[in-house]
A and B are shown apart, each in its own frame.
Chain A
Amino acid sequence: MNANMSSLLWGALALIATALVPQHASATKIESIRTPAGIEVWLVRDPTVPLVAINFGFRGGSAQDPPDKGGTANMMASLLDEGAGEVDAKAFHERLERAAIELSFTAGRDTLRGSVRTLKENQDEAFELLRLAMNEPRFEQDAVERIRAQIVSRLRRQSTNPNEIASRAWWETAFPGHPYGRPGNGTVESVAKITAADMRAFLKRVLTRDTLKIGVVGDVDAAGIARLIDRAFGTLPAKGNLTPIPEATIQGVGRRILVDLDVPQTVVTFGGPGVKRSDPDFMPAYLMDHVLGGGSFSSRLYHEVREKRGLAYGVSDNLLWLYHAAVHIGGTATRNDATKDTIDVIDAEVARMAQEGPTADELDKAKTYLKGSFALGLDTSTKISNQLVSMQLDNLGIEYIDKRSALIDAVTLEDTKRMAKRLLEGGMLVTVVGRPQGVAAK
């Protein structure tokens, strides 16, 4: 759900499954338990390795940032482990290290996610530090300024990175004036304005039990984990206060935006409308997009751009579903003098897919891939716990893993053709960063 461009572009080429998640998980039995404080937890008990992996998420990410203070959610997430309660930042980090506990928070566009990994023998300490981080973060001035300097430094570095520039230009044009059009980690100017009070206010509005989803995997028992969950999450406010986010439709489809940058390789971001996760046509669209630009080395774009013509190292397209909008988005990078050819090939493939849809053979192969690869995303505790939370945030239901194969099999060729037309017929919004030859803005 996170629109980090670099992971979108290259994730599909590495072994990271961009596919939603698991499926053939015969070894993975998910239980739903409710703690004494009434918090629901999805749990997979696995005593093989003496560790516990916890993942959790709240509704409300960077889209909830105050409009003039973009980057608040991101900055707050970076500060939760910088001192809490009676424990200052240094002591907090020492306690984490002494017990080899990994604790982190990340802000997406729509959600605030967290994860903890601990050895079983240190789980009490892990949940105590988690409780402190969420309930009593200090936001002390020196820590705030230290983290602010790190974020600003990263923003400066990104300001001349072609991938980052192409991505920002794409989102800005696709969702002008909407929170999705703003960069999640803010700008140098907006980050300068964020105060401790802003982050405290954000924390109070977002880290609340009404939207909380939790997944736990590891060497635990249900009663023990319920007690620990209540300790860490039980004192969070019951109700949040989220700013309503308007529904948005992608703008700028058909446009091509050029940004001049003196680099040997031009970076191209392209995309158009997508489908929401709750859309009954989600699965047909997902299969169609897999044929166009998903998977590892099998898509039409991969074949035409890389394999046949050697135009780029990577090219891919993925569906991205947010809570208030949905897109398909992809990218590639090619030498300046081949950019025009590369864009032409991608445009032609998108147009061909819009017109003809996938073939029956392609659809069959996409189905077997998406069914078969599901289990690969469930082979570590961290991946599973992460998945348990994504399934809950997407409202898929606990039986989704069992139903997923049937949902895929039910998709017909006509469904995918219909979705190809709906998503691709209008063309794409394209942003181009570099010194490409013969490529005009439109």
Chain B
Amino acid sequence: MPHPLKHALAAALAVTVMLAGGIRADAAPKVAHFTLANGLEVVVIPDHRTPVVTHMVWYRVGAADETPGKTGLAHFLEHLMFKGTEKNPQGLFSQTVSNIGGQENAFTSSDYTGYFQRTAREHLKMLMEFEADRMTGLVLTDDVVKPELQVVLEEQNMRVANNPAARLSEQMEASLFLNHPYRRPIIGWRQEIENLTREDALEFYKRFYTPNNAVLIVAGDVTAEQVKKLAEETYGKVKRVTEIKPRLRPQEPVQVAARTVTFADPRVAQPSVQRYYLVPSYTSAKPGESEALEILAHILGRGSNSRLYDKLVVDKGIAVNAGAGYSGSALDDTRLYISGTPKPGTSLAQLEDAIDAVIAEVAQNGVTADELARAKTRLIADAVYAQDSQGTLARWYGAALTTGGTIEQVQGWPDRLKAVTTEQVRDAARHWLDKRRSVTGYLVKDTQTVEKRP
């Protein structure tokens, strides 16, 4: 279960869907959206191709909402949500899902926490009853909390402690965000995870788990009317536990100094360099800005046609790989990342200089009309391909609605993307890819391998 979306920040676009230019409009699902009296938002995404449903509940709470000193709590609670309620003792929900051939899991990001099941459509009401029950009815004893804490510590070992690249990434996040809680690892700092308690988890649960802080998404072989009726009969009976305050996190100051981080581990057999820039998210950006950043990241670093790959891997032959990406799906300012893996014989400093030259070229001379057109086609096609997967659509809407977005923003994304000009892409590079707003990370075998710059 408990499978934190480690890269939730990197979960690409906030959004999407529906018709790209020239693509059939009738292919778009008719998405319904309504709110129950207790404040629970509901989204229904019909997909009648297979008799299955994807049932998800998303809470507007993530690692960035934790109290300082309690890192890892949002994720730990996500694990503990499988420990039962007064009505449905431990294991009954999971066992029932398994018995009907269903699948389930859960995930935690900096901004949201989600739970989902996929089953044949006739079981939807039962899933809703179980999920509504654990929205406010969780019961925890130390007998189940203590072993689960060990599980989470093993998860931290697996995802981070055993993995040098993940450890560098953790240090870079902490360095990119000087003040915002995005600097904390979603899974938590180990010494703080070790001290999390049953009381911490219950206090956090009571503060954030309430229908007026949740979004229900049902995708699959159902209609909006069916879901509305079932939701009212199940979730509709859950009382508000508390009112939710606006999510005002400490924001970043004006960043004035480029940072560098070096992580050395004898197990690093292939060195690499990474760069994170602090940039606006889909929610924090001015109109058009995040779409320009999305296209900029695509042209710089997605796939074999990208500037970075073409210049560093193909033309100069100094890198094995190079790429970039934009983690636009976030409530507050987020990151655009660039990565490069040098060929033997190329130093990280040489590779970094070459990356900087590619960025400078785009900032100075912009991108071509042809590059822009290809990027738009590719990104808008993602929205069409997403229609093929009820799970993907459910995730896009869920992530948008829990990071400050709206249904309309999701649906208007292809049109907004189409409106981006070459000048906007150039300006995004000029304005946002400023080293003073960045951290550069070096993954090396030992610190000697980072040569000193003259």
Interface residues of A (CB under 8 A from B): 13-15, 17, 24-28, 46, 48-51, 53, 89-90, 93-94, 97-100, 117, 119, 121, 142, 146, 149-150, 153-154, 156-157, 159-160, 162, 261-265, 267, 295-298, 306-314, 333-335, 365, 368-376, 378-382
Contact = CB atoms under 8 A, between A and B. Distances in A.
A4 B313 CA distance: 27
B351 to A, nearest CB: 13
A293 to B, nearest CB: 14
Nearest to A264: B161
Contacts of B158: 265, 313-314, 333
A306 B152 CA distance: 10
Interface in B144-158: 146-155, 157-158
B374 interface: yes
Given A90-B310, A262-B266, A379 B50 contact: yes
A121 B385 contact: no
Contact of A121 (B23, B49, B116): B23
A149 B343 contact: yes
Interface stretch (B32-40, B172-180, B229-237, B267-275): B267-275
A307 B157 contact: no
A385 B324 CA distance: 31
Of B50, B162, B269, B391, chain A has the most CB atoms within 10 Å of the CB of B50
Interface of B: 1, 3, 22-24, 27, 47-52, 82, 91, 94-95, 98-105, 116, 118-120, 146-155, 157-158, 161-162, 220, 266-270, 303-305, 310, 313-314, 317, 320-321, 341, 343, 373-374, 377-378, 380-381, 384-385, 387-391
Of B82, B267, B321, chain A has the most CB atoms within 10 Å of the CB of B267
A84 B119 CA distance: 44
A53 B22 CA distance: 19
9 contacts: A28-B50, A149-B343, A150-B320, A296-B94, A297-B94, A310-B148, A335-B157, A375-B101, A379-B390
A311 B153 CA distance: 10
B80 to A, nearest CB: 12
Of B27, B100, B101, B162, chain A has the most CB atoms within 10 Å of the CB of B101
A311 B269 contact: no
A375 B373 CA distance: 38
Contacts of B267: 160, 261-263
Contact of B321 (A26, A153, A371, A380): A153
B154 A265 contact: yes
B101 A382 contact: no
Given A297-B1, A378-B50, A49 B146 contact: no
Nearest to B302: A97
A100 B162 contact: no
A312 B154 contact: yes
Given A24-B120, A153-B270, A14 B51 contact: no
A94 B305 contact: yes
B384 A295 contact: no
Contacts of B99: 365, 368-369
B320 A50 contact: no
A333 B157 contact: yes
A146 B313 contact: yes
A308 B389 CA distance: 35
Nearest to A261: B267
Contact of A119 (B94, B105, B268, B381): B381
A97 B371 CA distance: 10
Given A46-B49, A310-B151, A371-B101, A94 B374 contact: yes
Contact of A312 (B47, B151, B269, B305): B151
Contacts of B51: 24, 26-27, 375
A4 to B, nearest CB: 17
Given A160-B269, A264-B162, A298-B95, 16 more contacts: A15-B105, A15-B118, A27-B49, A50-B24, A98-B373, A263-B267, A264-B161, A296-B104, A297-B98, A310-B150, A310-B151, A333-B162, A371-B101, A372-B102, A376-B103, A379-B118
A311 B305 CA distance: 45
A93 B95 contact: no
Contact of A382 (B104, B152, B388): B388
Listed from nearest, the 10 A-B pairs whose CB atoms lie closest are A372-B101, A310-B150, A310-B147, A100-B381, A265-B157, A160-B267, A313-B155, A373-B101, A93-B304, A156-B269
A97 B104 CA distance: 35
B-side binding surface: helix, strand, loop or mixed?
mixed
A119 to B, nearest CB: 6
Contacts of B118: 15, 376, 379
Contacts of A97: 303, 305, 374, 377-378
Contacts of A149: 320, 343
A333 B103 CA distance: 23
A150 B321 contact: yes
Contacts of A154: 270
Given A13-B3, A153-B321, A310-B147, A295 B120 contact: no
A152 to B, nearest CB: 8
Contacts of B343: 149
Nearest to B390: A379
B7 to A, nearest CB: 13
Contacts of A262: 266-267
Nearest to B95: A298
Of A50, A369, A375, A379, chain B has the most CB atoms within 10 Å of the CB of A379
A258 to B, nearest CB: 17
A361 B321 CA distance: 52
Contacts of A370: 101
A14 B94 CA distance: 14
Nearest to A217: B388
B194 to A, nearest CB: 12
Given A265-B161, A298-B94, A310-B147, A373 B154 contact: no
B354 to A, nearest CB: 16
Of B3, B52, B102, B119, chain A has the most CB atoms within 10 Å of the CB of B52
A333 B151 CA distance: 11
Given A15-B105, A374-B101, A27 B50 contact: yes
B98 A296 contact: yes
Contact of B103 (A17, A160, A314, A382): A17
Contacts of A142: 314
Nearest to A48: B49
Contact of A157 (B116, B269, B373): B269
A378 to B, nearest CB: 6
Contacts of B47: 48, 379
Contacts of B310: 90
A370 B343 CA distance: 47
A202 B454 CA distance: 49
Contacts of A48: 27, 47-49, 387
Nearest to B82: A297
Given A97-B303, A119-B381, A162 B49 contact: no
Nearest to B341: A153
Contacts of B314: 89-90, 142, 146
B187 to A, nearest CB: 11
A311 B161 CA distance: 16
Contacts of B389: 379-380
Contacts of B27: 48-50
A119 B154 contact: no
